[in-house]
Amino acid sequence: MTFQEAFPVWNKLHSGQQDLILSNLRFQAVKKGTMLHNGDTECTGLLLVKSGQLRAYILSDEGREITLYRLFDRDLCLFSASCIMRSIQFEVSIEAEKDTDLWVIPAAVYQRIMEESAPVSNYTNELMASRFSEVMWLMEQVMWKSLDKRVADFLLEEAAIEGTSELKLTHETIANHLGTHREVITRMLRYFQSEGMVKLSRGAVAILDERKLEALRE
Amino acid sequence: MTFQEAFPVWNKLHSGQQDLILSNLRFQAVKKGTMLHNGDTECTGLLLVKSGQLRAYILSDEGREITLYRLFDRDLCLFSASCIMRSIQFEVSIEAEKDTDLWVIPAAVYQRIMEESAPVSNYTNELMASRFSEVMWLMEQVMWKSLDKRVADFLLEEAAIEGTSELKLTHETIANHLGTHREVITRMLRYFQSEGMVKLSRGAVAILDERKLEALRE
């Protein structure tokens, strides 16, 4: 896949804009676990995923995390370039959850094109609306949904992403995704295990009864 | 204040676009308590507040509410016209918290102008980013902040909005703003009262010790 194929509104750019992007583009191959953007660091730029998986999350003062959303192939990450809009007043962190190939578009370049191009600006609107929707979904989960449902949901989603029911996940990792404490997750997983839904082993959770987890989810 | 003065990017529109808006604009004067937009109803249109106060909130299946943000004079409400972007996949409700004068811009009219005008589209981006920031702030509150801080925060904010320390608020109303149950708020307010921070009476909360509430807030 070339950048031109991956970038969503490439054909709506005129050639001057295309040249500006291509001559400022940077390709990066990063290892799993790499921090790509820290809430409080400089404006990293827009990240376009070629292949791999990124995770966007927020961090509390005490170091607790909660996952906001994931980015997969062809997804564009806007909030690593939050300087392009002055109204973005929150900080997210972005890390590579898998080995990831990506392109970095410098913030100033994207901003300049967005300001003059209605298609790029409208695309950016759709992009933000789609992240906003994910965060609103999460908010509703956190507000109204009990933790057992959220854990069941998370395990099933992971199984779908990884294409396996044998999940390599520590309790700490699950807690960081869901914004809670490790002890709370351990207690919940033990309950799931006692109900025959999962089998726990060191650094791993195996889903035994998907239908029972599904039922819990609703 | 005229519509032309209140609409944020009026001078960036060409005359055809200005005429299109003016000939489709609707003025409305609504009473406190009026529901202006229900999550699941039709696309109401963009609401521009001339004077008054609107509240945007979400609703759980069980009827619990949580306030997302407020809209004051000159604020433009985008999510009452969520049909203009297909990526907006969540539903908010909008009610008048005070008697409010407002203009309604039909969604299709705004959408048409946004699609052809980079300034309007970029303005919409800033608008969405600013609501997104408010929701992220709220999310962090809900995730990491204990309820005593959130109640203190809410009371002080209300006092600032209303310009008085004598707040006409039922416990039910406070619960609906914060996404919790009335009983929980009643217990918290009684604790605040026992600490000398507030005085409770029927349908009202008077702030007695603002500094103590402020201290709690941090």
pLDDT at residue A120 tops 90 = yes
pLDDT at residue A41 tops 70 = no
Q: Are B65 and B177 in contact (CB under 8 A)?
A: yes
The answer to whether B132 contacts A179, with C-beta atoms less than 8 Å apart, is: no
Q: Computed over its alpha carbons, how large is the radius of gyration of chain B?
A: 19
Sequence letter at residue B31: K
Please count the other Cβ atoms lying within 10 Å of the Cβ belonging to residue A4.
12
| Cα–Cα separations (whole angstroms), residue B202 to A4, A92, A196, B148, B197 | 65, 43, 51, 21, 17
Q: Are B72 and B53 in contact (CB under 8 A)?
A: yes
Average confidence score pLDDT of chain A:
92
* One pLDDT digit (tens) per residue for chain B, 218 residues: 999 999 999 999 999 999 999 999 999 999 999 999 987 667 889 999 999 999 999 988 778 888 999 999 999 999 999 889 888 888 899 999 999 999 999 999 999 999 999 999 999 999 999 999 999 988 888 888 888 999 999 999 999 999 999 999 999 999 999 988 888 899 899 989 988 999 999 999 999 999 999 998 87
Residue B173: its pLDDT value, please?
Answer: 93
pLDDT at residue A140 tops 90 = no
Distance of alpha carbon B51 from its chain centroid, rounded? 13
Residue to substitute from B12, B116, B125, B150, interface A, most A β-carbons within 10 A: B125
Spatial distance between the Cα atoms of A66 and B144, rounded to a whole number of angstroms: 10
Token readout for B12 is 């960036």
- Strands B65-71 and B54-59, by their bridges, are antiparallel
DSSP run (H or E) holding B136: helix B118-144
How many residues make up chain B in this entry?
A: 218
Confidence of residue A39 (pLDDT cuts 50, 70, 90): confident
The DSSP code for A67 is: E
Spatial distance between the Cα atoms of A68 and B197, rounded to a whole number of angstroms: 36
Q: What is the pLDDT of residues A142-186, one digit of tens each?
A: 888 888 999 999 999 999 999 999 999 999 999 999 988 888 899
Residue to substitute from B87, B126, B131, interface A, most A β-carbons within 10 A: B87
Spatial distance between the Cα atoms of A54 and A135, rounded to a whole number of angstroms: 16
The DSSP code for A218 is: -
CA distance B39 to chain A (A): 13
Residue A109: its pLDDT value, please?
Answer: 96
Spatial distance between the Cα atoms of B60 and A141, rounded to a whole number of angstroms: 10
The answer to whether B137 contacts A90, with C-beta atoms less than 8 Å apart, is: yes
Residue B154: its pLDDT value, please?
Answer: 95
Residue A70: its pLDDT value, please?
Answer: 93
The answer to whether B122 contacts A121, with C-beta atoms less than 8 Å apart, is: yes
**Secondary structure of chain B: what % helix, strand, coil (to 5)?**
50, 20, 30
Q: Computed over its alpha carbons, how large is the radius of gyration of chain A?
A: 19
Confidence of residue A134 (pLDDT cuts 50, 70, 90): very high
DSSP run (H or E) holding A172: helix A171-178
Spatial distance between the Cα atoms of A146 and A178, rounded to a whole number of angstroms: 12
Strand partners, B105: B46
Spatial distance between the Cα atoms of A75 and A92, rounded to a whole number of angstroms: 16
What is B82-118 written as a DSSP string?
Answer: GGG-TT-----EEEESS-EEEEEE-HHHHHHHHHH-H
Provide the total of helices (H) and of strands (E) in chain A, helices listed first: 8, 11
Q: What is the pLDDT of residues A180-205, one digit of tens each?
A: 888 889 988 998 998 899 999 999 99
pLDDT at residue A80 tops 80 = yes
Q: Are A107 and A97 in contact (CB under 8 A)?
A: no
Closest chain A residue to the Cα of B58, Cα to Cα: A140
Residue B41: its pLDDT value, please?
Answer: 66
Instruction: Establish if B9 touches chain A: CB-CB under 8 angstroms.
Output: no
Q: Provide, rounded to the nearest whole percent, the portion of chain A with pLDDT above 90.
A: 74
Sequence letter at residue B109: V
Q: What is the pLDDT of residues A1-21, one digit of tens each?
A: 999 999 999 999 999 999 999
Sequence letter at residue B172: E
pLDDT at residue A218 tops 80 = no
Spatial distance between the Cα atoms of B108 and B106, rounded to a whole number of angstroms: 6
B residues 14-73 near A, CB within 8 Å?
A: 58, 60-62, 64, 66
Instruction: Establish if B179 touches chain A: CB-CB under 8 angstroms.
Output: yes
Residue A207: its pLDDT value, please?
Answer: 96
End-to-end alpha carbon distance in chain B:
38
The answer to whether A143 contacts B64, with C-beta atoms less than 8 Å apart, is: yes
Distance of alpha carbon B94 from its chain centroid, rounded? 7
pLDDT at residue A84 tops 80 = yes
Confidence of residue A60 (pLDDT cuts 50, 70, 90): confident
Predicted TM-score of the model (pTM): 0.85
Closest chain A residue to the Cα of B88, Cα to Cα: A129
Helix (H, G, I), strand (E, B) or coil at A126: helix
Residue B32: its pLDDT value, please?
Answer: 96
Residue A145: its pLDDT value, please?
Answer: 84
Sequence letter at residue A97: E
ipTM of the complex: 0.84
Spatial distance between the Cα atoms of B49 and B166, rounded to a whole number of angstroms: 26
